Structure 1
């Protein structure tokens, strides 16, 4: 069922379906294409309406790399709906619950390779598998190759 805007304006069928079923990034992509506006122009129009969203963020939203979750971002989506001449809450209604933990939290997980290297080094092994010794060269621990006898 096509979504209508006012008396004469009808959204393209593909966009209308995306606004009804999602996902958010597909609906946004189709809406931006239908508008003929570049992301730079959309960003400027958002700024003209008091909303600060970077071009990178708009691109991430458009390609499904991230989605708006913060209050300021959600306000930006409501303004986008007006700028793109979409029905109110047509994009915001596709968002639902936050999809993932913030990127900062994800970088701090134990699955992070940097954290594994740190744990290995802290646990008595250097990242290359060599055992650490308690040597005092320049006041720092010295790495020594592992011997075949198991001695350090």
Structure 2
């Protein structure tokens, strides 16, 4: 959500994201992935960018890690840039800024918030205590964060 929110709300104002959009990969990519369709977590068609969310809690099984790696390789084979984001990154404004900058660069634009309240709103946004706090606490207790 934070990637798509407008600057005046503390977001990164990246328009055009499609959530869990099914795409039909090329024959080569299907062979890599071992499946007929791919479903990136976030897809920006106009810049051929896929953002994949990897949560330690949800992706700890070896079989799931393999499927995720195959999906990333298949997307890259079809010309997509794939950015992987972790729970720890989602909860940090600085980390998300790096990700947003990569997306802007991919789109051929510079990241330049045009709102006088951007930093203030972003600080408030990231202090809200995301619903992912419980994930972070669990990961820290397990030594994964």
Tell me the TM-score normalised to structure 2 length. Answer: 0.30
Relative to its length, the structure with more strand (as a share) is 2
TM-score, normalised by the number of residues in structure 1:
0.29
Q: For the pair shown, which has the larger CA radius of gyration, 1 or 2?
A: 1
